[in-house]
Amino acid sequence: MALIVQKYGGSSVADADSIKRVAKRIAEAKRAGDDVAVVVSAMGDTTDELIDLAQQVTPLPPSREMDILLTAGERISMSLLAMAISNLGVEAQSFTGQQAGVITDEVHGKARIIDVSPSRIRAALDAGAVAIVAGFQGVTQHTNDVTTLGRGGSDTTAVALAAALGADVCEIYTDVDGVFTADPRIVPSARKIDRISYDEMLEMAASGAKVLMLRCVEYARRYRVPVHVRSSFSSHTGTLVMDPEGAAVMEQPIISGVAHDRSEAKITIVDVPDVPGKAARIFEVVAASGANLDMIVQNVSVAATGRTDISFTLPADDGSIAIAALTEHQPDIGYTSLQYDDTIGKLSLIGAGMKSHPGVSARLFAALSNAGINIEMISTSEIRISVVTRADQLDDAVRVVHTAFELDSDEDQAVVYGGTGR
Ligand code: ASP
Ligand code: MG
Protein backbone atom coordinates (compact mmCIF):
# COMPACT_ATOMS: atom_id res chain seq x y z
CA MET A 1 0.00 0.00 0.00
CA ALA A 2 1.35 3.36 -1.03
CA LEU A 3 0.67 6.91 0.07
CA ILE A 4 -0.05 9.07 -2.95
CA VAL A 5 -0.52 12.82 -3.08
CA GLN A 6 -2.46 13.89 -6.17
CA LYS A 7 -2.82 17.47 -7.33
CA TYR A 8 -5.51 18.60 -9.77
CA GLY A 9 -5.17 21.95 -11.53
CA GLY A 10 -7.94 24.40 -12.33
CA SER A 11 -8.62 23.07 -15.82
CA SER A 12 -9.12 19.55 -14.42
CA VAL A 13 -11.90 20.78 -12.12
CA ALA A 14 -13.34 23.51 -14.33
CA ASP A 15 -17.02 22.56 -13.91
CA ALA A 16 -19.31 20.09 -12.12
CA ASP A 17 -18.78 17.36 -14.71
CA SER A 18 -15.00 17.69 -14.49
CA ILE A 19 -15.19 17.52 -10.71
CA LYS A 20 -17.20 14.28 -10.98
CA ARG A 21 -14.69 12.87 -13.46
CA VAL A 22 -11.77 13.68 -11.17
CA ALA A 23 -13.69 12.29 -8.17
CA LYS A 24 -13.98 8.98 -10.04
CA ARG A 25 -10.22 8.85 -10.59
CA ILE A 26 -9.56 9.55 -6.94
CA ALA A 27 -12.09 6.96 -5.79
CA GLU A 28 -10.42 4.39 -8.08
CA ALA A 29 -6.99 5.09 -6.60
CA LYS A 30 -8.44 4.76 -3.10
CA ARG A 31 -10.28 1.52 -3.95
CA ALA A 32 -7.05 0.12 -5.37
CA GLY A 33 -5.82 0.18 -1.78
CA ASP A 34 -3.63 3.26 -1.61
CA ASP A 35 -3.88 6.13 0.85
CA VAL A 36 -4.76 9.24 -1.13
CA ALA A 37 -4.37 12.90 -0.22
CA VAL A 38 -5.49 15.38 -2.86
CA VAL A 39 -4.52 19.02 -3.40
CA VAL A 40 -6.85 21.01 -5.59
CA SER A 41 -6.70 24.37 -7.41
CA ALA A 42 -9.56 26.78 -7.95
CA MET A 43 -12.05 25.85 -10.69
CA GLY A 44 -11.06 26.99 -14.20
CA ASP A 45 -10.30 30.70 -14.33
CA THR A 46 -11.78 31.45 -10.91
CA THR A 47 -8.59 33.03 -9.58
CA ASP A 48 -8.39 35.40 -12.56
CA GLU A 49 -12.05 36.26 -12.17
CA LEU A 50 -11.60 37.05 -8.48
CA ILE A 51 -8.63 39.29 -9.36
CA ASP A 52 -10.74 41.07 -11.99
CA LEU A 53 -13.51 41.53 -9.45
CA ALA A 54 -11.15 43.09 -6.92
CA GLN A 55 -9.83 45.45 -9.64
CA GLN A 56 -13.38 46.63 -10.24
CA VAL A 57 -13.75 47.54 -6.58
CA THR A 58 -10.39 49.27 -6.16
CA PRO A 59 -7.30 49.76 -8.31
CA LEU A 60 -5.02 48.81 -5.40
CA PRO A 61 -6.56 46.05 -3.27
CA PRO A 62 -4.81 45.60 0.10
CA SER A 63 -2.69 42.46 -0.19
CA ARG A 64 -4.08 40.92 3.00
CA GLU A 65 -7.66 41.13 1.73
CA MET A 66 -6.60 39.99 -1.72
CA ASP A 67 -5.21 36.80 -0.19
CA ILE A 68 -8.39 36.04 1.72
CA LEU A 69 -10.39 36.64 -1.45
CA LEU A 70 -8.24 34.37 -3.63
CA THR A 71 -8.20 31.47 -1.17
CA ALA A 72 -11.97 31.29 -1.58
CA GLY A 73 -11.43 29.79 -5.04
CA GLU A 74 -9.67 26.69 -3.69
CA ARG A 75 -12.22 26.32 -0.89
CA ILE A 76 -15.02 26.07 -3.42
CA SER A 77 -13.31 23.32 -5.40
CA MET A 78 -12.13 21.35 -2.37
CA SER A 79 -15.58 21.08 -0.82
CA LEU A 80 -17.28 20.23 -4.12
CA LEU A 81 -14.67 17.57 -4.81
CA ALA A 82 -15.13 16.04 -1.33
CA MET A 83 -18.90 15.91 -1.93
CA ALA A 84 -18.44 14.28 -5.32
CA ILE A 85 -16.14 11.62 -3.85
CA SER A 86 -18.52 10.91 -0.96
CA ASN A 87 -21.28 10.49 -3.50
CA LEU A 88 -19.27 7.60 -4.98
CA GLY A 89 -19.30 5.86 -1.61
CA VAL A 90 -15.74 6.77 -0.63
CA GLU A 91 -15.27 8.86 2.47
CA ALA A 92 -13.66 12.23 1.86
CA GLN A 93 -12.97 15.33 3.94
CA SER A 94 -11.73 18.71 2.79
CA PHE A 95 -9.32 20.97 4.65
CA THR A 96 -8.21 24.58 4.19
CA GLY A 97 -4.51 25.36 4.07
CA GLN A 98 -4.65 26.35 7.71
CA GLN A 99 -6.41 23.14 8.74
CA ALA A 100 -3.83 21.17 6.80
CA GLY A 101 -1.06 22.85 8.82
CA VAL A 102 0.52 24.88 6.02
CA ILE A 103 2.55 27.61 7.74
CA THR A 104 4.08 30.39 5.62
CA ASP A 105 6.05 33.59 5.95
CA GLU A 106 4.26 36.94 5.92
CA VAL A 107 4.66 37.94 2.26
CA HIS A 108 1.10 38.26 0.99
CA GLY A 109 0.63 37.22 -2.63
CA LYS A 110 3.84 35.17 -2.80
CA ALA A 111 4.31 33.59 0.61
CA ARG A 112 6.84 30.83 1.11
CA ILE A 113 5.99 27.69 3.00
CA ILE A 114 7.99 27.48 6.24
CA ASP A 115 6.55 24.24 7.55
CA VAL A 116 3.73 21.77 7.04
CA SER A 117 2.32 19.95 10.09
CA PRO A 118 -0.34 17.74 8.57
CA SER A 119 -1.62 16.01 11.71
CA ARG A 120 -5.26 16.42 10.70
CA ILE A 121 -4.52 15.08 7.22
CA ARG A 122 -2.69 12.13 8.71
CA ALA A 123 -5.63 11.45 11.03
CA ALA A 124 -8.12 11.59 8.15
CA LEU A 125 -5.98 9.18 6.10
CA ASP A 126 -5.59 6.83 9.07
CA ALA A 127 -9.35 6.86 9.46
CA GLY A 128 -9.62 5.62 5.88
CA ALA A 129 -10.77 8.86 4.29
CA VAL A 130 -9.46 10.67 1.25
CA ALA A 131 -8.12 14.05 2.44
CA ILE A 132 -8.70 16.98 0.12
CA VAL A 133 -6.52 20.04 0.74
CA ALA A 134 -7.02 23.54 -0.66
CA GLY A 135 -3.93 24.40 -2.68
CA PHE A 136 -2.06 27.70 -2.94
CA GLN A 137 -2.71 28.85 0.64
CA GLY A 138 -1.47 28.84 4.19
CA VAL A 139 -1.40 30.98 7.30
CA THR A 140 1.38 33.04 8.84
CA GLN A 141 3.21 31.62 11.79
CA HIS A 142 2.54 34.36 14.33
CA THR A 143 -0.56 36.24 13.24
CA ASN A 144 -2.61 33.47 11.60
CA ASP A 145 -3.23 35.73 8.62
CA VAL A 146 -4.27 33.92 5.46
CA THR A 147 -1.62 33.95 2.72
CA THR A 148 -1.34 32.72 -0.86
CA LEU A 149 1.74 31.20 -2.45
CA GLY A 150 1.71 33.00 -5.81
CA ARG A 151 0.11 31.99 -9.10
CA GLY A 152 0.30 28.27 -9.74
CA GLY A 153 1.04 27.72 -6.05
CA SER A 154 -1.05 24.57 -5.65
CA ASP A 155 1.81 22.57 -7.17
CA THR A 156 3.97 23.73 -4.29
CA THR A 157 1.30 22.83 -1.73
CA ALA A 158 1.16 19.33 -3.21
CA VAL A 159 4.91 18.73 -3.10
CA ALA A 160 5.22 20.24 0.39
CA LEU A 161 2.41 18.03 1.63
CA ALA A 162 3.96 14.99 -0.03
CA ALA A 163 7.27 15.76 1.68
CA ALA A 164 5.62 16.27 5.08
CA LEU A 165 3.61 13.05 4.79
CA GLY A 166 6.55 11.08 3.39
CA ALA A 167 4.42 10.17 0.36
CA ASP A 168 5.74 7.68 -2.19
CA VAL A 169 4.94 9.96 -5.09
CA CYS A 170 3.38 13.32 -5.83
CA GLU A 171 1.21 13.14 -8.94
CA ILE A 172 0.55 16.49 -10.57
CA TYR A 173 -2.49 16.20 -12.83
CA THR A 174 -2.75 18.83 -15.52
CA ASP A 175 -4.23 19.43 -18.97
CA VAL A 176 -1.29 18.02 -20.95
CA ASP A 177 0.28 14.56 -20.83
CA GLY A 178 3.44 15.67 -19.03
CA VAL A 179 6.44 17.91 -19.51
CA PHE A 180 7.12 18.48 -23.20
CA THR A 181 10.20 19.48 -25.13
CA ALA A 182 8.42 22.81 -25.72
CA ASP A 183 5.00 24.26 -24.88
CA PRO A 184 2.62 22.11 -27.00
CA ARG A 185 0.41 25.17 -27.44
CA ILE A 186 3.19 26.68 -29.57
CA VAL A 187 4.94 23.59 -30.90
CA PRO A 188 2.35 20.89 -31.65
CA SER A 189 5.14 18.46 -32.59
CA ALA A 190 6.72 18.74 -29.13
CA ARG A 191 7.63 15.41 -27.54
CA LYS A 192 6.71 14.25 -24.08
CA ILE A 193 9.77 13.84 -21.86
CA ASP A 194 9.65 10.52 -19.98
CA ARG A 195 12.13 11.40 -17.26
CA ILE A 196 13.84 14.64 -16.35
CA SER A 197 16.23 15.52 -13.53
CA TYR A 198 15.33 18.01 -10.81
CA ASP A 199 18.07 20.35 -12.06
CA GLU A 200 16.79 20.44 -15.62
CA MET A 201 13.19 20.82 -14.48
CA LEU A 202 14.31 23.67 -12.24
CA GLU A 203 15.85 25.48 -15.22
CA MET A 204 12.74 24.80 -17.33
CA ALA A 205 10.43 26.21 -14.65
CA ALA A 206 12.70 29.20 -14.02
CA SER A 207 12.78 29.87 -17.77
CA GLY A 208 9.02 30.15 -18.11
CA ALA A 209 7.78 26.56 -18.61
CA LYS A 210 4.46 26.84 -16.82
CA VAL A 211 3.79 23.14 -16.43
CA LEU A 212 5.29 23.18 -12.91
CA MET A 213 5.77 26.15 -10.61
CA LEU A 214 9.42 26.96 -9.84
CA ARG A 215 9.06 26.74 -6.07
CA CYS A 216 7.39 23.38 -6.36
CA VAL A 217 10.43 22.03 -8.20
CA GLU A 218 12.80 23.60 -5.64
CA TYR A 219 10.84 21.92 -2.89
CA ALA A 220 10.77 18.58 -4.67
CA ARG A 221 14.52 18.70 -5.21
CA ARG A 222 15.29 19.67 -1.63
CA TYR A 223 13.15 16.90 -0.15
CA ARG A 224 13.73 14.41 -2.99
CA VAL A 225 10.01 13.99 -3.66
CA PRO A 226 9.47 12.02 -6.89
CA VAL A 227 7.00 14.04 -9.00
CA HIS A 228 4.88 12.49 -11.74
CA VAL A 229 3.40 15.12 -14.07
CA ARG A 230 0.48 13.66 -16.03
CA SER A 231 -2.90 14.39 -17.54
CA SER A 232 -6.18 14.07 -15.70
CA PHE A 233 -7.86 13.64 -19.11
CA SER A 234 -5.99 10.48 -20.16
CA SER A 235 -4.40 7.48 -18.48
CA HIS A 236 -1.01 7.88 -20.21
CA THR A 237 2.13 7.76 -18.14
CA GLY A 238 3.45 11.28 -17.86
CA THR A 239 6.86 12.71 -16.97
CA LEU A 240 8.82 11.61 -13.93
CA VAL A 241 10.87 14.35 -12.30
CA MET A 242 13.55 12.71 -10.21
CA ASP A 243 17.19 12.33 -9.30
CA PRO A 244 19.30 11.16 -12.22
CA GLU A 245 21.21 8.84 -9.84
CA GLY A 246 17.89 7.27 -8.88
CA ALA A 247 17.60 5.87 -12.37
CA ALA A 248 20.84 4.54 -13.72
CA VAL A 249 19.05 3.77 -16.95
CA MET A 250 18.19 7.40 -17.48
CA GLU A 251 19.72 8.39 -20.78
CA GLN A 252 21.00 11.88 -20.81
CA PRO A 253 19.89 13.63 -23.95
CA ILE A 254 21.99 16.67 -24.85
CA ILE A 255 18.95 18.90 -24.88
CA SER A 256 15.82 18.29 -22.84
CA GLY A 257 13.73 21.15 -24.06
CA VAL A 258 13.06 24.72 -25.11
CA ALA A 259 11.26 27.02 -22.67
CA HIS A 260 9.95 30.50 -23.32
CA ASP A 261 8.91 33.45 -21.24
CA ARG A 262 6.88 36.45 -22.28
CA SER A 263 6.56 38.01 -18.84
CA GLU A 264 9.82 39.95 -18.69
CA ALA A 265 10.76 43.51 -19.57
CA LYS A 266 14.08 45.17 -20.34
CA ILE A 267 15.41 48.35 -18.77
CA THR A 268 18.36 50.13 -20.39
CA ILE A 269 20.26 52.73 -18.41
CA VAL A 270 21.83 55.05 -20.97
CA ASP A 271 25.20 56.78 -20.57
CA VAL A 272 26.35 55.46 -17.23
CA PRO A 273 29.78 56.88 -16.26
CA ASP A 274 32.23 53.99 -16.81
CA VAL A 275 33.95 54.14 -13.44
CA PRO A 276 34.20 51.61 -10.62
CA GLY A 277 31.18 51.43 -8.32
CA LYS A 278 28.42 52.46 -10.76
CA ALA A 279 27.14 48.96 -11.46
CA ALA A 280 27.21 48.20 -7.76
CA ARG A 281 25.19 51.35 -7.05
CA ILE A 282 22.64 50.63 -9.79
CA PHE A 283 21.97 47.11 -8.63
CA GLU A 284 21.85 48.14 -4.96
CA VAL A 285 19.11 50.60 -5.91
CA VAL A 286 17.23 47.99 -7.95
CA ALA A 287 17.56 45.35 -5.23
CA ALA A 288 16.33 47.78 -2.56
CA SER A 289 13.21 48.40 -4.67
CA GLY A 290 12.34 44.71 -4.33
CA ALA A 291 12.60 44.01 -8.07
CA ASN A 292 14.05 40.64 -9.13
CA LEU A 293 16.72 40.75 -11.82
CA ASP A 294 17.33 38.23 -14.52
CA MET A 295 19.89 38.96 -17.26
CA ILE A 296 22.39 41.82 -17.19
CA VAL A 297 24.43 43.19 -20.10
CA GLN A 298 26.95 46.03 -20.04
CA ASN A 299 28.05 47.44 -23.36
CA VAL A 300 31.60 48.37 -24.25
CA SER A 301 32.07 51.97 -23.22
CA VAL A 302 32.57 54.65 -25.82
CA ALA A 303 36.15 55.87 -25.44
CA ALA A 304 35.31 59.47 -26.33
CA THR A 305 32.70 59.84 -23.61
CA GLY A 306 33.81 57.32 -21.00
CA ARG A 307 30.19 56.25 -20.74
CA THR A 308 28.38 52.97 -21.27
CA ASP A 309 24.86 51.52 -21.39
CA ILE A 310 23.72 48.85 -18.97
CA SER A 311 20.63 46.75 -19.73
CA PHE A 312 18.90 44.21 -17.57
CA THR A 313 15.72 42.15 -17.68
CA LEU A 314 13.23 41.65 -14.88
CA PRO A 315 9.64 40.46 -14.47
CA ALA A 316 7.45 43.12 -16.13
CA ASP A 317 5.43 43.16 -12.90
CA ASP A 318 8.49 44.62 -11.16
CA GLY A 319 9.08 47.21 -13.92
CA SER A 320 7.44 50.21 -12.32
CA ILE A 321 9.14 49.86 -8.92
CA ALA A 322 12.56 49.48 -10.57
CA ILE A 323 12.00 52.52 -12.83
CA ALA A 324 10.82 54.61 -9.87
CA ALA A 325 13.87 53.66 -7.81
CA LEU A 326 16.33 54.36 -10.65
CA THR A 327 14.67 57.68 -11.42
CA GLU A 328 14.99 58.75 -7.81
CA HIS A 329 18.70 57.93 -7.89
CA GLN A 330 19.51 59.48 -11.28
CA PRO A 331 21.57 62.29 -9.67
CA ASP A 332 23.93 59.99 -7.77
CA ILE A 333 24.19 57.34 -10.51
CA GLY A 334 24.69 60.01 -13.16
CA TYR A 335 23.11 58.36 -16.21
CA THR A 336 21.32 60.43 -18.88
CA SER A 337 18.13 58.45 -19.54
CA LEU A 338 16.18 55.22 -19.01
CA GLN A 339 14.51 53.06 -21.65
CA TYR A 340 11.77 50.63 -20.75
CA ASP A 341 10.82 47.86 -23.16
CA ASP A 342 8.19 45.27 -22.36
CA THR A 343 7.96 43.83 -25.86
CA ILE A 344 10.72 41.29 -25.36
CA GLY A 345 10.60 37.51 -25.23
CA LYS A 346 13.06 35.06 -23.73
CA LEU A 347 13.92 31.66 -25.14
CA SER A 348 15.90 29.14 -23.11
CA LEU A 349 17.49 25.93 -24.28
CA ILE A 350 17.94 23.45 -21.44
CA GLY A 351 19.90 20.23 -21.21
CA ALA A 352 22.30 18.60 -18.78
CA GLY A 353 24.19 17.14 -21.71
CA MET A 354 25.31 20.54 -23.03
CA LYS A 355 28.00 20.62 -20.32
CA SER A 356 29.97 18.03 -22.25
CA HIS A 357 28.91 18.79 -25.83
CA PRO A 358 30.56 21.67 -27.65
CA GLY A 359 28.71 23.53 -30.39
CA VAL A 360 25.33 23.87 -28.72
CA SER A 361 25.38 27.68 -28.69
CA ALA A 362 26.64 27.84 -32.28
CA ARG A 363 23.75 25.67 -33.40
CA LEU A 364 21.26 27.76 -31.43
CA PHE A 365 22.51 31.06 -32.84
CA ALA A 366 22.62 29.69 -36.38
CA ALA A 367 19.01 28.50 -36.15
CA LEU A 368 17.87 31.93 -35.01
CA SER A 369 19.88 33.79 -37.62
CA ASN A 370 18.60 31.54 -40.44
CA ALA A 371 15.10 32.53 -39.38
CA GLY A 372 16.03 36.21 -39.38
CA ILE A 373 15.62 36.53 -35.63
CA ASN A 374 17.84 39.03 -33.88
CA ILE A 375 19.37 38.20 -30.50
CA GLU A 376 19.38 41.11 -28.06
CA MET A 377 20.86 39.54 -24.94
CA ILE A 378 22.43 36.22 -24.02
CA SER A 379 22.99 34.49 -20.70
CA THR A 380 24.10 31.00 -19.83
CA SER A 381 24.33 28.55 -16.95
CA GLU A 382 25.99 25.15 -16.98
CA ILE A 383 22.88 23.52 -18.41
CA ARG A 384 20.99 26.43 -20.03
CA ILE A 385 21.43 29.08 -22.74
CA SER A 386 18.91 31.93 -22.79
CA VAL A 387 18.44 34.64 -25.41
CA VAL A 388 16.21 37.69 -25.54
CA THR A 389 14.35 38.40 -28.80
CA ARG A 390 11.47 40.63 -29.87
CA ALA A 391 8.25 39.34 -28.29
CA ASP A 392 6.51 38.95 -31.65
CA GLN A 393 9.31 36.67 -32.90
CA LEU A 394 9.35 34.45 -29.84
CA ASP A 395 6.96 31.74 -31.06
CA ASP A 396 8.90 31.41 -34.31
CA ALA A 397 12.15 31.31 -32.38
CA VAL A 398 10.88 28.47 -30.21
CA ARG A 399 9.79 26.47 -33.27
CA VAL A 400 13.02 26.87 -35.24
CA VAL A 401 15.21 26.06 -32.25
CA HIS A 402 13.07 23.04 -31.39
CA THR A 403 13.57 21.79 -34.94
CA ALA A 404 17.28 22.62 -35.06
CA PHE A 405 17.88 20.36 -32.08
CA GLU A 406 15.82 17.57 -33.62
CA LEU A 407 13.29 17.58 -30.83
CA ASP A 408 10.21 17.30 -33.08
CA SER A 409 8.23 14.13 -32.75
CA ASP A 410 7.09 12.25 -35.84
CA GLU A 411 4.36 10.45 -33.94
CA ASP A 412 1.10 11.82 -32.62
CA GLN A 413 0.94 15.49 -32.02
CA ALA A 414 0.86 16.68 -28.43
CA VAL A 415 -2.65 17.05 -27.07
CA VAL A 416 -3.78 20.00 -25.01
CA TYR A 417 -6.90 18.70 -23.29
CA GLY A 418 -8.18 21.82 -21.63
CA GLY A 419 -7.48 25.17 -20.09
CA THR A 420 -7.43 28.53 -21.69
CA GLY A 421 -3.73 29.05 -21.02
CA ARG A 422 -4.85 32.26 -19.35
N1 ASP B 1 -5.63 29.03 -8.28
C2 ASP B 1 -4.29 29.54 -8.22
C3 ASP B 1 -3.90 30.09 -9.57
O4 ASP B 1 -4.69 30.07 -10.50
C5 ASP B 1 -3.31 28.51 -7.77
C6 ASP B 1 -3.11 27.36 -8.72
O7 ASP B 1 -3.84 27.19 -9.69
O8 ASP B 1 -2.18 26.59 -8.49
O9 ASP B 1 -2.83 30.60 -9.71
MG1 MG C 1 -5.10 27.99 -11.68
Asked if residue 188 has pLDDT above 60, the reply is yes
9 is in an annotated binding site: yes
7 is in an annotated binding site: yes
Q: Per the CATH hierarchy, to which homologous superfamily does domain 3-248 belong?
A: Acetylglutamate kinase-like (3.40.1160.10)
Q: pLDDT value at position 421?
A: 46
For ligand 1, atom 8, name the residue with the nearest CA: 152
Asked if residue 251 has pLDDT above 70, the reply is no
Q: Which atom of ligand 1 is nearest to the CA of 10?
A: 7
Q: Which atom of ligand 1 is nearest to the CA of 157?
A: 8
Where is pLDDT greater, at 105 or 302? 105
Q: pLDDT value at position 422?
A: 43
Q: How far is the CA of 110 from the centre of ligand 2 (A)?
A: 15
Asked if residue 3 has pLDDT above 50, the reply is yes
CB of 45 within 8 A of CB of 422? yes
% of the chain at pLDDT higher than 90: 87
Q: Over range 205-218, report the average pLDDT.
A: 92
Q: How far is the CA of 9 from the centre of ligand 2 (A)?
A: 6
Q: Which atom of ligand 1 is nearest to the CA of 149?
A: 5
Enumerate residues lining ligand 1, CB below 6 A: 9-10, 41-42, 47, 73, 135-136, 151-154
Q: How far is the CA of 191 from the centre of ligand 1 (A)?
A: 26
Q: Over range 1-14, report the average pLDDT.
A: 95
What angle in degrees, to the nearest 10, is found between the helix axes of 63-87 and 46-57?
150
Digit-coded pLDDT (tens) for 15-60: 999 999 999 999 999 999 999 999 999 999 999 999 999 999 999 9
For ligand 1, atom 9, name the residue with the nearest CA: 151
Q: pLDDT value at position 254?
A: 87
8 is in an annotated binding site: yes
